[in-house]
């Protein structure tokens, strides 16, 4: 029988919330020519959400050319595969750089996904709208996303809303347009306390929510929001280390995921920014196991459930469930 740490590493895992520019490891940053000082700045022990968005400048600088963006995407995929992630939804915000247009940015990331070396990982792309941009800018990005969704329907699966949650707006009409064009919606929601916006996002009924930190009344939400949420039961992507390091959760043990566990509500575990928070999906499983004394069957089930919440094609979902089932027979 595998010991718990080794079990978490070997367990085939599903990663549904990983930002490309936050997932760059120390090695990747070094390969991209970052100095040790820049690397130290990028990886934080403790920070706040506002500070995290400043750290991304290091990553944006490192991935500002097509060559480096391609290399980073390939390396991030390789590292997830080495952590036995068998299905990865990578997300990124298309951005204009001196070397590339927004569309070239998207194309470069897609090229790296197509050229991935590990046969053991399926990779999909979610493209993010940056909430700090205005309606016109977000709308233009969305048009580019739809264009690439039509060109690569098996790779470009969804749209995300991300960026500093203290700024910007959720434009429902843009997500309605994304949905009409066959894109799934995974939206960062209740990452900070903002009840009016949370109600707007919940009423839109995204396929998944990122974080959901302030949905439960114990975490300064209100009963109305929690009642609405429990009626909808939208899967939440829980990023334990990210929330603890950004100080929106006091500790792993006090993380809001416990309300989902107690109430049998849908959730998955995710890294958010494995480079910035110096974590892996295996470590996130271990944190949950240690904090709530879970057994191996519980952890296996979390992985298996995440397949259902993914934006994979239905035949891929079947194949992933089969893979998990087989692994269970051989290892548990």
Binding positions for Zn ion, rule: CB under 5 A: 272
Query: In terms of DSSP bridges, do strands 208-211 and 184-189 run parallel, antiparallel, or are they unpaired?
Result: parallel
8 vs 52, which CB is nearer to Zn ion? Answer: 52
Q: Is the distance from CB of 217 to CB of 226 less than 8 angstroms? A: yes
Residue 330 CB, shortest distance to Zn ion, in Å, is 33
- At residue 276, the 3 state secondary structure works out as coil
Active site residues: 191
What lies within 8 Å, CB to CB, of 162 at 6+ separation is: 19, 91, 93, 128, 129, 130, 131, 188, 210
**Rounded Cα gap, residues 256 and 274, in angstroms:** 20
Q: Which is nearer to Zn ion, 79 or 272 (CB)?
A: 272
**CA–CA distance, 281 with 152 (Å, rounded to integer):** 27
Q: Select 8 or 20, whichever has its Cβ closest to Zn ion.
A: 20
Smallest separation (angstroms) from Zn ion to the CB of 185: 14
Based on DSSP, count helices (H) and strands (E) in the chain, helices before strands: 15, 8
Q: Nearest approach, Cβ of 167 to Zn ion (angstroms)?
A: 15
Shortest reach from residue 272's CB to Zn ion, in Å: 5
Question: Among all residues, whose Cβ is closest to Zn ion?
Answer: 272
Q: Residue 107 or residue 128: which is nearer to Zn ion going by CB?
A: 128
DSSP state at residue 272 = B
- Residues 148 and 113 sit within 8 Å (Cβ to Cβ): no
């Amino acid at each position: 029988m595998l010991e718990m740490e080794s079990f978490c590493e070997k367990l085939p895992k599903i990663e549904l919330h990983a930002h490309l520019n936050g997932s760059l490891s120390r090695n990747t940053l070094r390969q991209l020519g970052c100095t040790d000082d820049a690397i130290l700045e990028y990886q934080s022990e403790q920070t706040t959400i506002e500070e995290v968005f400043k750290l991304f400048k290091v990553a944006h600088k490192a991935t500002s050319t097509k060559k480096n963006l391609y290399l980073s995407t390939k390396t991030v995929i390789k590292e997830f595969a080495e952590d036995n992630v068998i299905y990865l939804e990578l997300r990124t915000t298309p951005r204009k750089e001196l070397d590339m247009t927004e569309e070239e940015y998207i194309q470069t990331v897609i090229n790296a996904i197509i050229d991935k070396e590990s046969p053991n990982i399926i990779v999909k792309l979610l493209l993010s709208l940056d909430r700090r941009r205005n309606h016109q800018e977000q709308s233009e990005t969305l048009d580019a996303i739809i264009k690439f969704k039509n060109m690569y329907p098996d790779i470009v699966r969804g749209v995300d809303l991300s960026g500093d949650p203290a700024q910007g707006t959720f434009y429902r009409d843009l997500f309605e347009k994304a949905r009409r064009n066959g894109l799934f919606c995974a939206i960062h929601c209740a990452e900070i306390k903002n009840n009016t916006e949370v109600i707007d996002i919940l009423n839109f009924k995204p396929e998944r929510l990122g974080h959901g930190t302030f949905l439960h009344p114990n975490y300064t939400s209100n009963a109305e929001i929690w009642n609405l949420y429990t009626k909808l039961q939208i899967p939440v992507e829980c990023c334990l280390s990210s929330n603890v390091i950004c100080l929106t959760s006091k500790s792993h043990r006090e993380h809001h995921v416990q309300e989902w566990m107690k109430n049998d509500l849908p959730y998955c575990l995710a890294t958010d920014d494995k480079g910035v928070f110096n974590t892996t999906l295996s470590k996130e499983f271990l944190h949950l196991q240690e904090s709530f004394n879970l057994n191996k069957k519980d952890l296996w089930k979390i992985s298996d459930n995440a397949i259902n919440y993914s934006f994979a094609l239905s035949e891929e979902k079947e194949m992933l469930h089969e893979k998990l089932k087989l692994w269970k027979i051989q290892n548990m």
